[in-house]
Amino acid sequence: MASSDQPSSPGTMAQLRQARERLDAKDLPGAIGIYDEILKTSAGDRADVLVSISGDLGSTGHVRQLIELVAPRYDASRHGAATGFNLLQAYIGAREPEPAQHILDILFGLNRPDLEERLFGFSNAISELLLSDSLGSPEMTTAAPEPGENTAKIGVATISKPVWYYGLEALADRILPAKGSKLRNVAFAQLALPGTGGKSYADVARAYGDVLRLSTALPAWFAEIFTFSPSYAPVAAVAYIEKPEGGREPMIFPAEWTTENLRHLVESGNTALDYIFTGAIRQHAGDYELVLRLWEVKKFRERKQFSLRWTPATVNAELDKLREQICLFMEWQPMPAGSGLNYPFPSAPRAWLDLLGVSLDLFVAEKILQRSQYVAPLGPARHAADAAAPHSALASLAWLTTEHRALLQQVELPEGGPELNSDPIVADAQDALAHG
């Protein structure tokens, strides 16, 4: 744990050294007595004193005493980040994720870019703790788990085509690009939502609705992008829970996927994956934070990390930067002209994610959950289609299949419909859906 480099008065420093000597001699009550004396004085509010006490107690394994002495006095604005890190470690060691999350939120609120990497690391540790407490260590498979067991299991659906494509298979040669045989296989996994452990899906949907939809829409978007590249065969991986009492519901990951999760995905799939993207997304005080990790499957090692922050005003620019960074690192190349549908990157990626997210909700509800109660409202998707469909055959197709699936599942649609693109493939898609 962190210790202080800041100066203290000789008397206080001597007391701190005496307390450490007591800890090393296994005399915890003696050390606590000295700390109590220090904390009753004005020195007890100094940053260097608190970080020294918390560091010494933590490094000698006395996390409960660290929490009891330091947590009530800690103020991040006065005492800095080092003591906060020590408190975080103590709460995690004591398996108390909720107060740990509170300290983490306070430290994120300091808006210190130099701390973000460590903070995301703590976020992952808290999420793993929440996941282990709420679900144990659930088995991850790419098929439905065996029924009849008394524990919840996780299944993962891998979607190998753009989610809006399904229903338009009759137009496959005009939509999907032709590719060669030597392809790199990449999976984009559903993102974790730190802080959601122990909460029901309904509660998460109410409190985290925006980031909940992005947790699946972002992987679907990246998989779509890599569909329209000659070198890749992508899939989007979306999880669900097989409940012991029967039935299924969407899975929410409060922790990022572990390497063991990745192994299950690789070993259970039909395709030998080369790369897997995992990550987490969170919202704090109006700011959004996203971290993505690229895993090389052959060695199960993290190859690259991408992170960004955005506000509603900057979201489109930041998402476009992220897309550029990922494409550059993965050496993404566009398909040659005339191979499948023209794929322009969306000028407003946030709106496109609204449309993709609803399309994915409907697909998962139909094919996996067989219940439409988990579909997000279609209003934002309709707004996205209103803006994009007149100018884009792809956006028109996405709206048509979304609308068609909503009608089949009796999901309420906004009145009217967007103006569609004049490309002949749009009219052919309408015909295919009407007679499919």
pLDDT at 359 over 70: yes
- Mean pLDDT, all residues of the chain: 86
Write out the two tokens for 364.
Answer: 């998962």
Give the three-state DSSP class for 143: coil
Which of 87-91, 143-147, 337-341, 354-358 is predicted most confidently? 354-358
User: 275-284 and 184-189 as β-strands: parallel, antiparallel, unpaired?
Assistant: parallel
pLDDT at 223 over 80: yes
Q: Give the helix/strand (H/E) hosting 20.
A: helix 10-24
Tell me, what amino acid is at 120?
A: F
User: DSSP string spanning 217-284?
Assistant: HHHHHHHHHHHTSTTEEEEEEEEEEE-TTS-EEE---SSPPPHHHHHHHHHHSSS--SEEEEEEEEEE
Residue-range domain boundaries for the chain: 10-135, 140-435
The residue among 306, 269, 124 whose CA lies nearest residue 187 is 269
Cα distance between residue 73 and residue 49, in whole Å: 11
CB 187 within 8 A of CB 265: yes
Least confident of 2-11, 47-56, 206-215, 271-280: 2-11
Write out the two tokens for 341.
Answer: 């549908």
CB 293 within 8 A of CB 276: no
- The correct answer on CATH 3.40.50.920 for the domain covering 10-135 is no
Least confident of 141-150, 186-195, 345-354, 355-364: 141-150
Cα distance between residue 346 and residue 336, in whole Å: 19
The 10s digit of each residue's pLDDT in 296-305 is: 998 888 889 8
pLDDT at 45 over 50: yes
Cα distance between residue 424 and residue 127, in whole Å: 48
The per-residue pLDDT for 5 is: 40
Q: Name, in order, each residue with C-beta under 8 angstroms of 14's C-beta and a sequence gap of 6 or more.
A: none
Cα distance between residue 260 and residue 246, in whole Å: 26
Place of tokens 């098929």: 143
Cα distance between residue 151 and residue 242, in whole Å: 9
Write out the two tokens for 344.
Answer: 């322009």
Tell me, what amino acid is at 118?
A: R
Instruction: Give the number of other CB atoms < 10 A from CB of residue 165.
Output: 22
